[in-house]
Amino acid sequence: MSWFARLKQGLKKTAENLSKAVPWGGDPEEVLEELEYALIAADVGIEATEEILAEVRQSSQKNLKEAVKLAIMLQLEPDERRRKLRKLGFKPDATKKFVAPKGHVVLMVGVNGVGKTTTIAKLGQYYQRAGKKVLFAAGDTFRAAGGTQLKVWGERLGIPVIQAPEGADPAALAFDATQARKARGHDLLLVDTAGRLHTKHNLMEELKKVKRAIGKAEPGEPGEVWLVMDATVGQNGINQAKAFHEAVGLTGVIVTKLDGTAKGGVLVPIVRALGVPIKFIGVGEGPEDLQPFDAGAYAEALLEGAA
Ligand SMILES: Nc1nc2c(ncn2[C@@H]2O[C@H](COP(=O)(O)OP(=O)(O)OP(=O)(O)O)[C@@H](O)[C@H]2O)c(=O)[nH]1
Ligand SMILES: [Mg+2]
């Protein structure tokens, strides 16, 4: 299956509402009314939905579907690109783009069960295929199974894993792993952390300490702090995301489990609330199901996805 076919397959549940419930080709006002409900049902959020409708109404594009694709894409792009895109019109870029991390250490954070550990494994494979020498740090020292899970992935992929005994200080492990990366000459260190609720003060403090420890071992690192979010939680995940952003300063978001939800529009309010780009999306459990995020391909898949 091609990359784009996989994306369409993964976004099918969300795309179904947008392409089926909306009477494309009918009376434009009726189309926009149905579109409004469909976008809200997809968890795009009321504010963004209103902006999308206003953008479509102002558009010189006669084809409503194309105008909607551009409006969705504009919601997800950084400001400078947004201005350019508005001039250019909708040109989906369904080519796979490479996501180059800043620096050498990526810290992965998020609440329990969102997909952090499996995403690290998938990212490990992604960067390995791009020719990078990857190292994992099993920073989930909270549960013995957390470290073992990453160890198994590491063995399968041929990626070494820095581990510590259950209950060990995750900040000490992160410090150790960051030094080891430099000493061993690996290009990229992916640091796993135990899942935690954003409301648990001591656990959020622990996360800050992990980040500081990485910076002590190597100034300027971690170059990236990525929050993993579960799309099935929809807009309820936004307050969680804000709390993580406040605590550790996110540089990117990875949204997983888009295949399991009709709320795939949630990417829009996430970007609005955090002002942080989406780096990858997960559209299934397989390693190929983690894809670099491309707003154009996403908008295209949402509007053309469901058969
Ligand atoms: N369907 C689907 N499942 C996914 C996706 N990403 C991850 N998962 C599944 O989500 C489950 C939990 O994944 P983990 O990686 O263990 O989650 P975690 O965030 O590390 O969990 P904790 O360490 O307990 O906080 C696994 O069964 C994964 O296969 C996705 O994009 N789609
Ligand atoms: Mg985990």
CATH code for position 53: 1.20.120.140
In a domain, 49, yes or no: yes
pLDDT tens digits, 84-129: 777 777 666 655 679 999 999 999 999 999 999 999 999 999 999 9
**Number of folded domains in the chain?**
2
Residues 231 and 265 in one domain: yes
209 HSE (CA, 13 A, CB side) = 12
Check which CATH number belongs to the domain holding 127 and give it. Answer: 3.40.50.300
Shared domain for 77 and 156, answered yes or no, is: no
Q: Ligand 1: which atom is nearest the Cα of residue 289?
A: 31
pLDDT in tens, 152-207: 999 999 999 999 988 899 999 999 999 999 999 999 999 999 999 999 999 999 99
Decide: 112 in ligand 1 pocket, CB within 6 A. Answer: yes
Residue 146's pLDDT band, with cuts at 50, 70 and 90, is confident
Output 29-33 pairs: Cβ under 8 A, ≥24 positions apart. 31/64, 32/56, 32/57, 32/64
How far away, in angstroms, is 115 Cα from ligand 1 center? Answer: 3
d(CA 76, CA 92): 13
CB of 8 closer than 6 A to ligand 1? no
Look at residue 140 and tell me if it is in a domain. Answer: yes
Q: Is 307 contained in some domain?
A: no
Burial class (CB in 10 A: 0-12, 13-18, 19+), 25: exposed
State the ligand closest to the CA atom of 110.
1
Domain termination site, one of 38, 63, 88:
88
Enclosing domain of residue 54: 3-88
| Domain-located, residue 267 | yes
Give distance in angstroms: CA of 118 to centre of ligand 1. 6
Q: What is the pLDDT of residue 119?
A: 97
Ligand 1 neighbour 113 (Cβ under 6 A) = yes
Residue 198 within any structural domain of the chain: yes
**Does residue 299 form part of some domain?**
no
Same domain flag for 154 and 7 = no
Quote the strand ranges of the chain, DSSP E: 105-109, 134-137, 161-162, 188-191, 224-230, 252-256, 278-282, 290-292
Is residue 260 lining ligand 1, measured as CB closer than 6 Å?
Answer: yes
- Give the pLDDT of residue 116: 97
Q: Are residues 196 and 132 part of one domain?
A: yes
Is the pLDDT score of 307 beyond 80?
A: no
- Cα-to-centroid distance, 282 and ligand 1 (Å): 10
Q: Is the pLDDT of residue 62 over 90?
A: no
Q: Does residue 164 sit in the same domain as residue 73?
A: no
Span between the terminal Cα atoms of the chain, in Å: 16
**Do both 131 and 253 map to the same domain?**
yes
pLDDT confidence of residue 306: 58
In a domain, 99, yes or no: no
> Both 119 and 224 in a single domain?
yes
Give me ligand 1 centre to Cα 229, in Å: 10
Rounded Cα gap, residues 237 and 156, in angstroms:
32
Q: Which residue among 28, 57, 88 closes a domain?
A: 88
Residues 26 and 153 reside in one and the same domain: no
Residue 209 lies in a domain: yes
How many Å apart are CA 198 and CA 147, to the nearest integer? 22
Verify that 137 and 203 share a domain, yes or no.
Answer: yes
Mean pLDDT of all residues in 266-276: 95
Question: What average pLDDT does range 62-69 have in this prediction?
Answer: 92
The pLDDT score that the predictor gives to residue 77 is: 85
Q: Select from 53, 88, 123 the last residue of a domain.
A: 88
Asked whether residue 247 falls in the same domain as residue 221, the answer is: yes
- The rounded Å distance from CA 192 to ligand 2 centre is 7
- Reported as a pLDDT band with limits 50, 70 and 90, residue 17 is confident
Average pLDDT over residues 58-76: 92
CA of 109 to the centre of ligand 1 (A): 13
Ligand 1 near 140 CB (within 6 A): yes
Count CB atoms within 10 A of the CB of residue 244: 24
Percentage of residues in the chain with pLDDT exceeding 90?
79
**Ligand 1 atom at minimum distance from 281 CA:** 31
Alpha-carbon distances, residue 148 vs 128, 139, 141 (angstroms) = 21, 11, 10
Ligand 1: does its nearest atom lie under 6 Å from the Cβ of 287?
Answer: no
Question: What pLDDT is attached to residue 304?
Answer: 84
| Contact criterion met (CB below 8 Å) for 64 and 34 | no
Q: Is the CB of 285 under 6 A from ligand 1?
A: yes
Ligand 1 pocket member 14 (CB < 6 A): no
- Same-domain pairing of 266 and 182: yes
| SS3 (DSSP) at 100 | coil
Residues 233 and 84 in one domain: no
Verify whether ligand 1 is closer than 6 Å to residue 259 (CB atom): yes
Query: Which residues have CB under 8 Å from 292's CB, separation 6+?
Result: 96, 97, 98, 99, 279, 280
pLDDT of 228 over the 70 cut: yes
Mean predicted lDDT score pLDDT of the chain = 92
* Alpha helices, H only, 218-283: 237-248, 267-274
Q: How confident is the model at residue 19 (pLDDT cuts 50, 70, 90)?
A: confident
Query: Which pLDDT value is given to residue 91?
Result: 67
